[in-house]
Amino acid sequence: MEVDPVTVEDVSANLEPVLSFKEGGVRELIQRLQCSSKRGHGVLPENTLVLERSCEHPAVVNGVCNDCCQKIEEDGNYGLDFSYLHMGLRLSRSEIDRLRCLETERLFSQRKLHLVLDIDNTLIHSFRSDAFSKLGVPKDDMQEVDGIFVKLRPLVSAFLERASTMFEMHLYTLGSRSYAKKMAKILDPQDKYFDHRIISRNESPGLVKTLDLVLGMESSILILDDNDQVWPNHEPNLILMKEFLFTGKKTDENEMNTPLNDILKALSAIHTAFFDDNIQAMFRDRDVRELAASVRSTVLKGCNLYVSNVKYAGILRLRAKELGATCSKELNHSVTHLVSCHKGTEDFNRAASEKKYLVLPRWIKDAYFFWKRPAEENFPIKKSSKAILKAIIACTVFLS
Ligand SMILES: [Mg+2]
Ligand SMILES: [Zn+2]
């Protein structure tokens, strides 16, 4: 529907609370909404001419269009919940698309991209106080807010600081809004990184997360999350994180073995590739999903794997291929690595005699989580094959 500029101008001159979102990005939108709620938005003087004919209702607050003050049916057909930007706010699909382009263009001008960060087990591990007391670790190792104990992932503060030079960041959790805000306060005490960009389950559709709620073009958004199940529609945007768990034991992640440093390097490589001045394509025609796949495919380049006697071999092969490895159907001379859980098998003995690398399946997982080829000697195959043990036992029984 075309907006008649003359009508809009004439009427808005008489109507202070009537605001137009035809210009400006998210910041302007929020400013205007805050300004209008202070004035008591949606309350129109009587006998006011309402812009029903020309208004496309871009933003609705508590069921009332903030442009024309018309009541909008909450029948589920109108737009999406953006309460994380402003209480009670819903935006129309076309307004979402408009803001998406605008926000991404704004970031491009600062040579930045969007980064969506999961909170739990990606940046922190949090505990209710009863669960925490079972851990039996000193409280001074943790931060506490309203009975929730929080352990920050090692290097998380440095990670956020450096990531913020390349990305504008969102937090996205399926926890409640109040939980999300509390964790944001701990992660970003000086309020430098996230501003209003904190999305919770209050806005999300059911038990999944969606980039529909992120005001940026999907071709410029990366996601860090330890759970790929919650992102069924955005796998190409996702950098799957190794789950961060705090147990208070020596085996916990520390500053030396956290993946955050390596993830930062991967993010930096993707960012550099995106803003490469030698590429002809306009920024808006570039795609961070393709670049992430391309950077990932260099990790195990040149490795030819033979996966033998391993659970979930299908998914392991898939991950290995994403990392740039090839997978052989047979153990031939071109195979560089035998991936197996058991030593002493026919495959193992042959690969060992041919001086191939012999690694546990965890070697592939680590490559996937750290975006680098792990040292093979750290993943030796130690256990003997259960099949062989069973055969020996069976044989012994038979002979006795
Ligand atoms: Mg998580
Ligand atoms: Zn309207």
Query: Considering every ligand atom, which ligand is closest to the CA of 224?
Result: 1
- Rounded distance from Cα 76 to ligand 1 centre (Å): 28
User: pLDDT tens digits, residue range 138-149?
Assistant: 887 889 999 999
C-alpha–C-alpha distance, residues 163 and 263, integer Å: 10
- Rounded distance from Cα 211 to ligand 1 centre (Å): 16
Compute CA distances 358 → 116, 305, 306, 363, 365, whole Å.
Answer: 37, 10, 10, 10, 15
Fold adopted by 111-294: Rossmann fold (3.40.50)
Q: Please, which residues bridge with residue 273 across strands?
A: none
Q: Provide the percentage of residues in the chain whose pLDDT is more than 70.
A: 86
User: Residue 357 has what DSSP assignment?
Assistant: E
Using alpha carbons, select from 88, 95, 98 the residue that is nearest to residue 37.
88
User: pLDDT tens digits, residue range 94-128?
Assistant: 999 999 999 999 999 999 999 999 999 999 999 99
- Rounded distance from Cα 83 to ligand 2 centre (Å): 18
Strands 198-199, 167-172: parallel, antiparallel or unpaired by DSSP?
A: parallel
pLDDT at 74 over 80: no
Among 12-21, 38-47, 110-119, 311-320, the range scoring the smallest mean pLDDT is 12-21
Strands 167-172, 80-81: parallel, antiparallel or unpaired by DSSP?
A: unpaired
Instruction: Write out the residues surrounding ion ligand 2, Cβ under 5 A.
Output: 55, 57, 65, 67-68
Radius of gyration of the chain (CA): 27
Q: What is the mean pLDDT of the chain?
A: 88
- Rounded distance from Cα 387 to ligand 2 centre (Å): 71
Instruction: Write out the residues surrounding ion ligand 1, Cβ under 5 A.
Output: 118, 120-121, 226
Question: Are 128 and 241 a contacting pair, CB within 8 Å?
Answer: no
What CATH number labels 297-387? 3.40.50.10190
Spell out the domain ranges in the chain: 5-91, 111-294, 297-387
Query: Considering every ligand atom, which ligand is closest to the CA of 172?
Result: 1
Banded model confidence at residue 5, pLDDT cuts 50, 70, 90: very low
Q: Where are the beta strands (DSSP E) in the chain?
A: 59-61, 64-65, 80-81, 89-91, 113-117, 124-128, 143-145, 148-152, 167-172, 198-199, 221-225, 238-240, 304-307, 326-327, 337-339, 357-359
363 vs 33, residue with greater confidence:
363
Query: Considering every ligand atom, which ligand is closest to the CA of 8?
Result: 2
Instruction: Dig out the tokens for 196 from the structure.
Output: 């209003």
- Rounded distance from Cα 341 to ligand 1 centre (Å): 28
Buried b or exposed e, range 234-259, using 16+ CB within 10 angstroms: bebbbbbbbebebeeeeebbeeeebb
pLDDT at residue 12, as a whole number = 37
- Rounded distance from Cα 120 to ligand 2 centre (Å): 39
pLDDT at residue 399, as a whole number = 47
Among 27-36, 78-87, 388-397, the range scoring the smallest mean pLDDT is 388-397
Asked if 111-294 and 297-387 have one fold, the answer is yes
Query: Considering every ligand atom, which ligand is closest to the CA of 60?
Result: 2
pLDDT at 14 over 50: no
C-alpha–C-alpha distance, residues 158 and 144, integer Å: 21
Banded model confidence at residue 293, pLDDT cuts 50, 70, 90: very high
pLDDT at 50 over 70: no
Instruction: Dig out the tokens for 349 from the structure.
Output: 């003995």
Instruction: Dig out the tokens for 217 from the structure.
Output: 């073009």
Question: Are 117 and 264 a contacting pair, CB within 8 Å?
Answer: no
Using alpha carbons, select from 99, 90, 74, 101 the residue that is nearest to residue 203.
90
- Rounded distance from Cα 314 to ligand 1 centre (Å): 24
Average pLDDT over residues 373-398: 73
Average pLDDT over residues 28-51: 67
Whole-model pTM over 0.95:
no
pLDDT at 203 over 70: yes
Query: Considering every ligand atom, which ligand is closest to the CA of 68?
Result: 2
Banded model confidence at residue 278, pLDDT cuts 50, 70, 90: very high
